[in-house]
Amino acid sequence: MIKHILKNIWTSRAGNVWILLELFVVTIFLWFSVDYISTNVVNLRRPLWFDHENVYQLGVGKLDVESELYDPAPEHTSDILEDFSFIIQRLKEHPLVEEVCYTRYYPLFAWNNHTIGMEYDTLSAECYLRLVSPPFFKVFRVQTYSGRDPEQIFGQRGGSGIICTEDLAEELFRSRTAPGKRVWIYSIEDSTTVVDVCKNQKIMDYSGYQKAVYLPILFQPEDKITLGGMPEIYFRVRKGADYKGLPDDFRREMTPKLRIGNLYLQLVEPLSDIREDMVRESRNTFNMFMAVILFFLVNIFLGVLGIFWFRTQYRKHEIGLRLALGSTRNQIQDLLMTEGVLLLILAFLPAMVVCYHLQYAEFVSSDPVPLSWGRFVLTQLITFSLLTGMLILGIWFPVRRAMNTEPAEVLHEE
């Protein structure tokens, strides 16, 4: 039957060329749409691999020079390390607070992260720099593969080692057996040792996993912090202690206690609210793209449906003739559907080659899901399945109507 169908396709090649051309173009555009939707759906199902529930950001304000309360003493202006340390200590002493941490170049749920270059042997990689105090891993429940306490493996002073994400370890060391390896960091022009590997991390739900390296910051008496270089402060409340009015109650209670030097408590905000503000913008953008793509898919569906509907309706007399000559309804239906699928395959194969080269040239984004053979094969299968479904529907309904017409009536019209 396949040979017979191919002969029919060749005999009607003048009309089939336009169908093949349309299917070719539609396949490429549909693949773009499927790739965007499928990669984002896959990414949204990936976990953040850190826990932001029951975590709050503490905003510390700085008094203006013109304020009556401003203290011009050097220990409160040019070096506020002692004042900052008091704030951290008083937070830790609060009965509702389980753990406190601070970060630099890594505000949670924000885009302003810094990148650095790293090198191991002949391999190099770009990654995000995240300066964190060791309790960061407890506050955000970040899992390391060794399971050891970062405060112990970092030692008593910052800079004694780094923790890298799993994808960075895979790129530089081709495995998670990274602990003990020494890497060169371009920005600080020094080498350091990888002490552990942690789970991959996202900035937020709609972003992809980002290769990152965690460097410890443990301030010593000889270190300095200026008013313009305040780290971001986060704290986790104890289990069962979180409630809706906690930020307001905490701010009222701690405002006088955290008024130290030229520093004061400015705000207490749940990290879940900060996340929601960031996610809302990305969600709106994603939904807008989805609406455009779905409108495009509906147009593709109607176009493919219309082509094969009209084509099958046009061949109503051929269907009647085949019925008169003894063909069964199922045989005719299988013949026309197989012919339609073969036309799709003939258009799909060259379109698939074009799609591969477009992906290889990175016309589709490698974020949030990296480009790979698995991604390409999956999106091609989905694209082919959608087109096949449209095609079969476009053939099945008019074929059923044509086969309900009496052969004698069709032959009379012929």
151's CB contacts (< 8 A; 6+ apart) are 134, 135
Q: What is the pLDDT of residue 407?
A: 57
d(CA 227, CA 220): 17
| Residues 118, 123, 127, 130, CA torsion sign | negative
d(CA 280, CA 94): 33
d(CA 154, CA 128): 19
d(CA 275, CA 69): 34
Closest CA to 371 of 363, 359, 361, 354: 359
| Residues 11, 12, 14, 20, CA torsion sign | negative
**Upstream peptide bond of 368 is cis (omega within 30 degrees of 0):** yes
Structure tokens at 133: 């105090």
Residue with tokens 């036309």: 343
Q: What is the pLDDT of residue 157?
A: 44
Q: What is the pLDDT of residue 326?
A: 64
d(CA 234, CA 223): 21
8 A C-beta contact, residue 55 and residue 103: no
Q: For the chain, count helices (H), then strands (E).
A: 12, 10
Closest CA to 357 of 28, 128, 3: 28
Report long-range pairs for 286-292 (Cβ below 8 Å, ≥24 apart): 286/40, 286/206, 289/36, 290/37
Encoded amino acid at 186, one letter: Y
For the chain, the C-alpha Rg in angstroms (whole number) is 32
Q: Pairing relation of β-strands 55-62 and 263-270?
A: antiparallel
Closest CA to 203 of 268, 113, 131, 129: 113
Structure tokens at 21: 């051309």
Q: What is the pLDDT of residues 165-205, one digit of tens each?
A: 998 988 888 766 788 888 888 876 678 888 888 889 888 88
**Start-to-end Cα distance in the chain:** 25
pTM of the model: 0.76
| Rounded alpha-carbon distances, angstroms, from residue 343 to 18, 150, 348, 352 | 11, 61, 8, 14
Closest CA to 340 of 397, 295, 410: 397
Kindly state the helix (H) or strand (E) to which residue 123 belongs, with its residue range: strand 123-132
d(CA 102, CA 92): 12
Q: What is the pLDDT of residue 355?
A: 92
Q: What is the pLDDT of residue 90?
A: 92
- Which stretches within 141-185 are classed as H helix? 150-154, 166-173
Q: What is the pLDDT of residue 57?
A: 93
Q: What is the pLDDT of residue 156?
A: 46
60's CB contacts (< 8 A; 6+ apart) are 87, 230, 233, 258, 263, 264, 265, 266
Q: What is the pLDDT of residue 11?
A: 64
Chain-centre distance of CA 55, in angstroms?
23
Closest CA to 194 of 125, 252, 140, 94: 125
Which regions in the chain score pLDDT beneath 50? 156-158
